[in-house]
Amino acid sequence: MYPELGRIGSLVIHSYGLALAAAFLAAFAWIRYECGRRGLPKEYAADLVLAAAFGGIVGARLAYVVAHWDYFSRHLLDVVRLQEGGLVFYGGVIGGAAGVATVARLRALLPGHVADMAAPALALGAAIGRIGCLLNGCCYGRPTEGPFGITFPAPLGGPRFATQVFDGLYNLAIFAGLVLISRRWSLRSGFLFWVYAATYSVFRFGVEFLRENPVLIGGLSGAQLISIGLFVLSSGVLILRYREPLAQETGE
């Protein structure tokens, strides 16, 4: 159960829910800013973020349910009990991307432009969302005696690697890097998104060695296997399609 921060009448405020709401609000603020900067109606930001939120939560939950099907096959009603925890980031990305792509198509927006707006927003939202993971005690790391450990309440105990903090910090660094790149150069449509995908996959692959996740193949976790696939895909696209990333060099 997510820790309670307080109550407003019968409404219970949980730490993870509050962090998730803050993450989506930050993503909304960024998308709205980008819509204005690119000459798009700012009203589109709400459509895009709501679609990302709905698709992301559904995708993240489905990925968790599939990964823990032995339990959920015997407790089907628990599938919708989000207050008990269980969201997978990569599943959320896939579901959120599907929602955003649907809105982009309905609004006749160029997919590459939407993806470039979404990439920094996704990194920023993920950085804030990891605060909720830290408060909730999920996505925790392996036991450690080193200086980067943190002690959690029972039954986790500690000290354990503060992988939630590591994840939040590198997402924040990716956000800053993407903004810097986009402001310094005029880039071809879609380039920023694929840079995000390649960079995130590398960081996520590395931090997984510090986490306690089931090993699937070759000593690697499911997230690491997905990270490898994502890196191969994104780096391949960058090499084959974006050898000349600057827009003025390609006429885009």
Residue 181 to residues 80, 118, 245, Cα–Cα distance (Å): 40, 15, 11
Average pLDDT of the chain, as a whole number: 86
Which range has the top average pLDDT, 104-108, 153-157, 232-236?
Answer: 232-236
Q: With pLDDT > 90 as the criterion, what percentage of the chain qualifies? A: 43
Residue 251's pLDDT band (cuts 50, 70, 90):
very low
Where would I find the H helices in 8-74?
15-37, 44-67, 69-72
Q: In the numeric block, which tokens belong to residue 134? A: 């830290």
Angstrom distance (rounded) from CA 152 to CA 192: 37
pLDDT at residue 250, as a whole number: 41
pLDDT in tens, 176-232: 999 999 988 888 889 999 999 999 999 999 999 999 888 888 889 989 999 999 999
Residue 1 to residues 15, 128, 178, 185, 238, Cα–Cα distance (Å): 10, 20, 35, 45, 42
- Averaged pLDDT, 113-137: 90
Backbone angles phi, psi at 88, to 5 degrees: -110, 125
pLDDT at residue 7, as a whole number: 64
pLDDT in tens, 29-52: 999 999 999 889 998 999 999 999
pTM: 0.84
pLDDT in tens, 5-23: 656 666 666 677 788 889 9
pLDDT at residue 227, as a whole number: 95
| Residue 102 burial (10 A CB sphere; 0-12, 13-18, 19+) | middle
Q: How many domains does the chain have?
A: 1
- How many Cα atoms occupy the beta-carbon half-sphere of 145 within 13 Å? 0
Q: Which residues contact 208 (CB under 8 A, 6 or more apart)?
A: 220, 221, 223, 224, 227
Residue 249's pLDDT band (cuts 50, 70, 90):
very low
Identify the domain containing residue 33 by its residue range: 4-250
